[in-house]
Amino acid sequence: RADLALYAAKNKGRDNLALFEPHLDQAARERRAIESDLREAVANDEMRLQYQPIIELETGQTTGYEALLRWYHPTRGVMAPGDFLQIAEESGLIVQLGEWVINRALQETSGWEGDFRVAINLSTTQVMDAKLVSAVSQALRATDFPPERVELEITEHVLMDSSDASENTLLALRKLGVRIALDDFGTGYSSLAYLRRFPFDRIKIDRAFVKDACGEIGSQAIISTITRLAEAMNMETTAEGIEDREQLDLLRKLGVKEAQGFLICKPMLAEALANDDRDISGDASDPRLDKAVID
Ligand code: C2E
Ligand code: MG
Ligand code: MG
Ligand code: MG
């Protein structure tokens, strides 16, 4: 097969680097297959949202849920965004899919009890789409969801890749009354610069810092500095990816306001979350939190 590939490559007048082409072909075919399935996925009812609770570290109370997209693919199984989001972005399918996410998240959670936010992720292509603002506003109207309880999460890439248009879109979203969070903070090239460009309501401290926080004085210093910076700029903070008790205690000590992570609760479908007997809304020092790790 390698010979054949080389022969084909020579015929095309390329050098023998084309020996790797069979693999590239394989990857390209896979990509096309996923893209083609993705076109039908919403219509085929294969998309779901899982919700991950976010707690206030001081009280242990659930203050919000982040909606995370899952694709229940008929043959490939449950796929996480890492498996298909880039394809959705590059093909433009993310716009339609993103609208589905916004509507579904607001519909699904609008009946839930309590005073909580719903966090929804947006990617670059979505924020560059001029229709995003009207899509959000329509979803709010259709579900009667209080805008101030919706938080849209963007990453630094959104501001990095784009122009004033994206900034204007974010400002227009803000005018609707929704909140804007800066996700994965600290992983980009010029995180601090973005804080000056847009008045975010929240900074989500990336998992990378949390992961190393215990035992690494540098990560601790960064977390507490971000926290103080956020306070000075009137922004809230959430730390992502809390996986053990030590991290939870440390983050609380460092003054981080809110946290989410597998220790507290894994992302779950709405029905599973409703049936979950684990009461995570009590005291954060509740020993049952430890049980959450084992579950
Ligand atoms: P993100 O917004 O930073 O979401 C947090 C990710 O960390 C989620 O991965 C979540 O499952 C995972 N996570 C939560 N707690 C822990 C933990 O304790 N340890 C570890 N190792 N991971 C944890 P997921 O669901 O695979 O999503 C990955 C990314 O895909 C998200 O990162 C977000 O940027 C994007 N995404 C997810 N859903 C959507 C969506 O509906 N629309 C768009 N545009 N992007 C989405
Ligand atoms: Mg997020
Ligand atoms: Mg994140
Ligand atoms: Mg992330």
> In sequence order, what DSSP letters do the residues of the chain get, joined into one string?
-HHHHHHHHHHTT--GGGGGHHHHHHHHHHHHHHHHHHHHHTTTT-EEEEEEEEEETTT--EEEEEEEEEEEETTTEEE-HHHHHHHHHHHSTHHHHHHHHHHHHHHHHTT--SS-EEEEE--HHHHH-TTHHHHHHHHHHHHT--GGGEEEEE-HHHHHH--HHHHHHHHHHHHHT-EEEEEEETSSS-HHHHHHHS--SEEEE-HHHHHHHTT-HHHHHHHHHHHHHHHHTT-EEEE----SHHHHHHHHHHT--EE-STTT---EEHHHHHH----TTS-TT-THHHHHHH-
| pLDDT score at 162 | 65
% of the chain exceeding 90 in pLDDT: 72
CA of 130 to the centre of ligand 1 (A): 25
Residues with CB under 5 A from ligand 2 (ion): 121, 153, 183
Q: How many other CB atoms are found less than 10 A from the CB of residue 97?
A: 23
Closest to 231 measured CA to CA, from 256, 207, 205 = 256
| Band (293; pLDDT cuts 50, 70, 90) | very low
> Could you report the per-residue pLDDT of 200-220, keeping only the tens digit for each?
999 999 999 999 999 889 999
Per-residue tokens: 167: 């900034």
**Residue whose CA is closest, atom 25 of ligand 1?**
68
Which has the minimum average pLDDT: 56-70, 95-109, 182-196, 238-252? 182-196
Q: How far is the CA of 261 from the centre of ligand 2 (A)?
A: 12
Q: Does the pLDDT value for residue 268 go beyond 50?
A: yes
Q: Which ligand approaches the C-alpha of residue 206 most closely?
A: 3
The Å distance, Cα 294 to ligand 4 centre, comes to 24
| Mean pLDDT for all residues in the chain | 88
Name all residues whose Cβ lies below 6 A of ligand 1.
52, 68-69, 80-82, 85, 98, 101, 121-123, 153, 183-184, 207, 240-243, 260-262, 267
Residues 142 and 152: their CA atoms lie apart, in Å, by 18
Q: What spatial distance separates the first Cα and last Cα of the chain, rounded to whole Å?
A: 48
* Close Cβ partners of 204 (under 8 Å, ≥ 6 residues apart): 153, 181, 182, 183, 184, 185, 237, 238, 239, 240
What would the two tokens of residue 140 be? 């709010």
| Probe target for ligand 1 pocket from 46, 103, 240, 247, with the most ligand atoms within 8 Å of CB | 240
Label residue 12 by pLDDT band (50, 70, 90): low
Q: How much is the pTM?
A: 0.89
47-56, 182-191, 235-244, 255-264: least confident range: 182-191
Q: How many residues does the chain have?
A: 295
Cβ < 5 A residues, ion ligand 3: 183-184, 240
pLDDT-based confidence at 121, cuts 50/70/90? Answer: very high
Can you tell me which residue has the tokens 């929804």?
120
Is pLDDT at 15 greater than 70 in this prediction? no
**pLDDT at position 292 over 60:** no
Question: Minimal CA–CA distance to 112: which of 68, 139, 146, 69?
Answer: 146
Q: Does pLDDT of 1 surpass 60?
A: no
Query: How many degrees, rounded to 5, is the angle at CA 235 between CA 217 and CA 226?
Result: 15
Please answer whether residues 126 and 89 qualify as being in contact, where contact means their C-beta atoms are separated by less than 8 angstroms: no
The answer to whether 145 and 106 are in contact (CB under 8 A) is yes
Which atom of ligand 1 lies closest to the CA of 88?
44
Q: What is the pLDDT of residues 230-246, one digit of tens each?
A: 999 999 999 999 999 99
